[in-house]
Amino acid sequence: MRLLERPLVGLLLKRLQAGHQPVQIVLGPRQVGKTTALEQVAARWKGPSHYATADLPAPPDADWVHAQWLVARQLAKAARQRTLLVLDEIQKIHRWSDVVKGLYDEDKRTRSLVRPVILGSSSLHVERGAKESMAGRYEVLFCPHWTFPECRDAFGWNLEQWLFWGGYPGAAPLVKDPRRWRRFVSDALIEPVLSRDVLQLTPVLKPALLRQLFMLAVHAPAQVLSYNKMLGQLQDAGNTVTLAHYLSLLSSAFLVTGLNLWSGSDVIRQRASSPKLIVWNNALVTSLGGLTFAEAQRQPELWGRLVENAVGAHLLNHGFVQTTGYWQKAHAEVDFVVQGGRRTTAFEVKSGRKAVSAGMEAFRREHGKVRSLVVGTGGIPLAQFFATSPEAWL
């Protein structure tokens, strides 16, 4: 494995070195290298830096933010240089945004040399806090799961390995010991997100139901399931509104997103539709599935689901969460429909021999002006698709 520098590093340095900037908020899943990226930024930073994390057994209060900020101010004053301040896992702190707003405004008035960067692994809590208190004072940068080219360059993986093992760099050295790899993903990746980023920070009346919903989703990647069908498969059943809410919590933690039916209008989200479950990283699916890499490859239906799920996750990890849906009418279905500005693009995923899709043909008849693309057999090669930002196809 060689140390890889993600694009986030250069982008952050460029912004922070440009003078007084809005607070830079870096969002992304756990264990994808947000902290490592900031360590790389600090290593190239021409001046003092101060790092502190709120990911502690007992979450600190808002005074902790104030104390860390004062440390950075003292460093800046002593060195008379711009000082990098990194506050990690900020979502743990109640009303953190109110304190950051006051400190940022004070720094702006006094022309302080502190350059703050905030890291978070829960988009729900971080963005909600920022929107409530910090309007006009922040920018959001997303740090996604590792892409196929990144895993290829860092670990020497081919496309099939990336589709199975997913994009968690911390778990990559363990893939030669599948049992150990599965335990690591479960204990060090899945459990901290569910227990700390979701259940600890959000009132959840039925935590067992939320966990069951997650398990159902990872066993049904890229499948459309009605809420009523989900309720029939869950033991601690609630109601459809509760399931929709819990699914949104899982999405905010970058675990599972339920895509909604595309209606053909500008509004892609139809809350009454049956969601298509997309797991943000295939490692979440395969680690809990119990099959080895070789066994999964010998099951065409499962492998096809992994490929389709990876295409959906690729769209989500590049920021197309609110603008991606699927299309279905009678027995015809199109895997993904993405609204990119004024253009709508339909994606059909093919991992087998046949490239012709009855769903795409029906979609073209009903929405003739919409661009349609095949990913996989007979269309864009999978390796090329996963090595390219979705914006290139939109």
179-232 pLDDT per residue, tens: 999 999 999 999 999 988 888 778 888 899 999 999 999 999 999 999 888 888
- How many domains is the chain built from? 2
Calculate the CA 105 to chain-centre distance.
30
| In a shared domain, residues 162 and 129 | no
Cβ atoms 19, 171 nearer than 8 A: no
User: What pLDDT is recorded for position 39?
Assistant: 93
Q: How confident is the model at residue 92 (pLDDT cuts 50, 70, 90)?
A: confident
Token representation of residue 150: 């990144």
Average pLDDT over residues 44-53: 94
> What are 374's strand-pairing partners?
348
Please report which helix (H) or strand (E) contains residue 159, including its range: helix 159-165
Least confident of 67-76, 298-307, 335-344: 335-344
Residue 271 has pLDDT above 80, yes or no: no
| In a shared domain, residues 196 and 255 | yes
Residue the block writes with tokens 């067992």: 208
Residue ending a domain, choose from 142, 158, 175: 142
Cβ atoms 308, 351 nearer than 8 A: yes
Sheet of strand 138-142, all strands in order from the earlier edge strand to the far edge? 49-53, 83-88, 114-120, 23-27, 138-142
Model pLDDT for residues 138-162, shown as the tens digit of each residue: 999 999 999 999 999 999 999 999 9
User: What pLDDT is recorded for position 357?
Assistant: 65
Which residues lie closer than 8 Å to 57 by C-beta, 6 or more apart? Answer: none
Least confident of 201-215, 224-238, 259-273, 289-303: 259-273
| In a shared domain, residues 42 and 131 | yes
Q: How confident is the model at residue 368 (pLDDT cuts 50, 70, 90)?
A: confident
User: What pLDDT is recorded for position 361?
Assistant: 84
| In a shared domain, residues 130 and 210 | no
Three-state secondary-structure class, residue 300: helix
Assigned domain for 249 exists = yes
Q: Structure pTM? A: 0.90
Assigned domain for 1 exists = no
User: What pLDDT is recorded for position 40?
Assistant: 95
Average pLDDT over residues 79-106: 92
Q: How far apart are CA 106 and CA 125, in angstroms?
A: 24
Q: What is the CATH number of the domain that holds 115?
A: 3.40.50.300
| In a shared domain, residues 103 and 188 | no
Nearest to 49, CA basis, from 5, 94, 82, 93: 82
Q: How far apart are CA 373 and CA 335, in angstroms?
A: 11
Residue 23 has pLDDT above 80, yes or no: yes
Percent of the chain with pLDDT over 70: 94
Assigned domain for 317 exists = yes
Q: How far apart are CA 21 and CA 366, in angstroms?
A: 47
Residue 342 has pLDDT above 80, yes or no: no
Q: Provide the mean pLDDT of the chain.
A: 89
User: What pLDDT is recorded for position 266?
Assistant: 46
User: What pLDDT is recorded for position 268?
Assistant: 46
| In a shared domain, residues 243 and 383 | yes
Average pLDDT over residues 72-93: 93
297-to-163, 210, 285 alpha-carbon distances in Å: 10, 30, 14
Token representation of residue 346: 């339909």
Residue ending a domain, choose from 121, 142, 163: 142
Percent of the chain with pLDDT over 90: 63
Residue 117 one-letter amino acid: V
| In a shared domain, residues 154 and 138 | no
Residue ending a domain, choose from 142, 162, 191: 142
Q: How far apart are CA 30 and CA 268, in angstroms?
A: 28
| In a shared domain, residues 188 and 112 | no
Q: How far apart are CA 159 and CA 179, in angstroms?
A: 22
Residue 288 has pLDDT above 60, yes or no: yes
| In a shared domain, residues 365 and 284 | yes
User: What pLDDT is recorded for position 367?
Assistant: 80
Average pLDDT over residues 33-40: 92
Q: How confident is the model at residue 269 (pLDDT cuts 50, 70, 90)?
A: very low
Find the radius of gyration of the CA atoms of the chain: 22
Assigned domain for 93 exists = yes
Residue 390 has pLDDT above 50, yes or no: yes
Cβ atoms 246, 207 nearer than 8 A: no
> What are 336's strand-pairing partners?
347
Q: Could you tell me the residue range of the domain that residue 102 belongs to?
A: 7-142
Assigned domain for 2 exists = no
| In a shared domain, residues 254 and 125 | no
Residue 163 has pLDDT above 50, yes or no: yes
Nearest to 327, CA basis, from 288, 274, 378, 280: 274
| In a shared domain, residues 200 and 273 | yes
| In a shared domain, residues 43 and 154 | no
